Amino acid sequence: MKFKLEKRDFKPFLQSLIDGYDLYAPVHLAEGVPVYRKMGRPDEVDLSLLNPQKSLKEVFFPQDEVMFRYEKVDQETQMVSTEEVKRERVVLGARPCDIEAISIIEEVFSGREYTDIYFLNKRKATMIIGMACHQPLPTCFCSSTGGGPFVRKGSDLFLIDLGEAYLVEILTEKGEAFKKNKFFKKTSAKNLQLAKELEEKASKKTDSTIPVKGIDQKLDQWVESPFWDRVHEKCISCRVCTYLCPTCHCFDIMDEALNEKGQRVRNWDSCLSEFYTLETSGHNPRATCRERTRQRLMHKFNYFPKVFDRIACVGCGRCILYCPVNFDIREVIKEINAK
Amino acid sequence: MMEKSWEPKILAFLCNWCSYAGADLAGTSRIQYPSNIRVIRVPCSGRINPLFILKALQSGVDGVLVSGCHPGDCHYLSGNYIGRRKSATLKCFLEFLGIEGGRVQFSWVSAAEGVKFSRVVQEVTEEVKKLGPLKKFKKSSWFGVQSSEKENE
Amino acid sequence: MIQQKLREIAKELLMKKEVDLIIGFGEGTLPLRATPIFVRDPEEAERIIWNSFCENNLATYLHKFDRFKVGLIVKGCDARSVVALNLEKRFKNNPPFLIGVPCQRMVDRRKVKKAVKGEILKVLEEDDRIIVEGEGFQVILKRDDFLYPSCQVCTHRTPVQANVLVDQPVEELPLVESHPDMDQFESKSLEERWKFFENEASRCIRCYACREACPMCYCRECFVDSSRPKWIEKGLSPSDLTFYHMVRAYHQSGRCSGCGSCERACPMEIRLNYLTQKLNRDAKELFGFEVGINPDGPPPLSTFETEDKQDFIK
């Protein structure tokens, strides 16, 4: 089902979402720094911004999240769960790369033995309004990883910016709740034609040449390769790539407490941090940057595919854009492929 | 019902050899000083890690006092000199950032200066009282002072 | 030309085996970027470049490569960082061989990106101009208008210490007593200053890019990693974010060379340089110490004068 949403109806449409749901969309935090936030007012939303540094994952997997609270009253310990999602949520303006990444995280968090109730509850209660990516950057290589700027997979509704209006595609059962939305008008053949042209134009812009096909098999032989002795050199072991990566999902659990009250919190963590694998004995299996860089790249392109049959990279290019030392994962992939 | 006016909470780091003894002397001499201060005894004013001061402010105190031996009298010879440099740097920096200078104060109080100690505490309490409760930088959480839950949505 | 000279020196040092590796800059994979490279063979020296995008402080790699004899290409600020590290006795056996480049000041890539409309595909430098080419546009910018804030106020562009200088020392800015930007900031009210700082810190995602990019942050266990005592949590509580930046800056007192790497590394574009600028100014005013200029030290917070300022002490 396809509809047209006029730009002049956009703010009222947003207001209707804010009234009925918790709406998450990109806002301006500072010039050049958009983030996903819960909306209070329609005019905060800005869909023209570049893909936020902090990806969509923080809407489902917050950087710091309380897992439960407790309070000791007399001899009893009362626990307060934080698992429940109180209100249905809508995410607006998510790009196909980030949406694909959520499904990658979901593979892990809806695992065979353990499920992550915090992530899953949020995921179940969220409707995703995806947005077509009109201006892929030179660093975008989603089409190499099996995605693309107009890929609809994972979206319940999909928006394409036609200039004067948005083309709205209803794609799932969840999205059908909007079938009768008063702001959705009939489309014209011209709308559909324009959408098609925009899709062709954008798809040509992303980099389809990054050779990730078959990389997982190639890396099978590479764990002890001297390749890793040079790759890590410029990496400074900060956490920018992992925190901005839409698929990275490591976390650290800590307890915060004072006297009778406390809470258990989980925070994002990064395998690139020196202490990530530090054991109580003092031994650290990944003591140097070489092991850590190897781990990160092998995890994305070998270990994860072995378990889940897909690579853990969506080609969003954030790690390339924001790395302080211009470590470029595309160069590494090309080098692996060339050998 | 009479409303109890707000009283500031002040944390005082006193060096064991001079200032703490001076405070003790004030006590034994029955010299009154405001009960707003809570004392932590440290071996030397040079031991004060600026993180102590910041953590104290974050945890809910409204002012911090660090007191040590007079220059030249340090039990460890030069601890208070080093502490003096750290204090100067920290105080300038905090003021620059926007935390009132009056909240982080320093003094030299010797073991014989019970009267001075009481005066210093009096002054610091008055100055911090004038500044009001510290609202900025304080860590808020559902259970008081330790950590916060950040609902970033 | 500086680039050619760097390649020649690097090649010579490697051939004579005077160093195990040269750490310099190579061509980046994005416009407006150069990237650190690690050259071990004399033939590889051809990869070394020099331009206005060589923004990283390469001294931060000295900790990672401390087992090797390193030839380090340094700008003015980087050289001062090496002097500061030397003062802290970081080079027991392997002092680096410093290849000094009098710095032409580095270009702020974010400022350039924000000044043009559209995606940048290629950037060229020509004398005092930056030619920015993108999709369907070409813009010519005046280089001097697009320098990093830390570079604009730099008074030590020529490395203060270097084993070899690849060019003539440049004319430095006069050593002014005050920085106009800093003065303007300090003239704001207390509340405004706090609001600015808190607002900047609120964007922080605790990625520690600032910490890792800084050559002076080399503690095995940083205060944020400490669990006994636990100074701050690992999450995004606003109070903790300000705490982290306050303390990281404070730990640079008397040590920071003002290279600006912290600010350049930050993915959320947080203003950080002004914090250390203030501390550096205080170190100079209170203790007469300036990083790199007093190579024999001692570090200001590890020593004292009997006549140190104490008018703030009751």
pLDDT in tens, A138-166: 999 999 999 999 999 999 999 999 999 99
What residue numbers bound the domain in which B95 lies?
Answer: 2-152
Question: What is the C-alpha to C-alpha distance for residues C272 and C259, in angstroms, rounded to an integer?
Answer: 11
pLDDT of residue A136: 92
* Residues of A within an 8 Å Cβ radius of B: 22, 24, 37-38, 58-59, 62-64, 66, 69, 71, 256-259, 261-263, 265
Q: What is the CATH number of the domain that holds B29?
A: 3.40.50
Percent of chain A with pLDDT over 70: 100
User: Where are the strands (E) in C28-160, listed by range?
Assistant: 34-39, 70-74, 97-100, 120-126, 129-134, 137-142
Res C146: pLDDT: 95
Count of structural domains, chain B: 1
Kindly indicate whether the ipTM for this predicted assembly is greater than 0.90, answering yes or no: yes
| Residue A48, pLDDT score | 78
Residue A339 binned pLDDT confidence (cut-offs 50, 70, 90): confident
pLDDT of residue C178: 56
Residue C181 near residue C98 (C-beta atoms within 8 A): no
Question: Is C158 part of the contact surface with chain B (CB cutoff 8 Å)?
Answer: no
A35 → chain C, closest CA residue: C203
Residue C161, CA distances (Å) to C77, C101, C314 in order: 11, 11, 42
CB-closest option in C194, C249, C304 to B98: C194
Q: Which helix (H) or strand (E) holds C194?
A: helix C190-201
Instruction: Please measure the distance between the N-terminal and C-terminal CA atoms of chain A and give it in whole angstroms.
Output: 47
Taking only the tens place, the pLDDT of each residue in C162-209 is 999 999 998 888 776 557 778 889 999 999 999 999 999 999 999 999
Residue-range domain boundaries for chain A: 2-203, 215-338
Query: How many angstroms separate the CA atoms of C120 and A137, rounded?
Result: 9
Please tell me which of the candidates C190, C196, C302 has its beta carbon nearest to residue B100: C190
B140 touches chain A (CB under 8 A): no
CA dist B151 and C15 (Å) reads 58
3-state secondary structure of A301: helix
Return the pLDDT at B149: 31
pLDDT band at A54 (very low <50, low <70, confident <90, very high): very high
Q: What letter represents residue A175's amino acid? A: G
Residue of A nearest to B152 (CA): A37
Q: Which three-class secondary structure state does DSSP give residue A321?
A: helix
For residue C173, the model assigns a pLDDT of 80
**A325, A331, A333, A334: which to substitute to probe chain C, counting the most C Cβ within 10 Å?**
A325
Average pLDDT of B112-120? 96
Say if CB C41 and CB C203 are below 8 A apart: no
Distance of CA A312 to the CA centre of its chain: 11
| C143 shares contact with chain A (CB less than 8 Å) | no
Nearest-Å Rg of the Cα atoms of chain B is 16
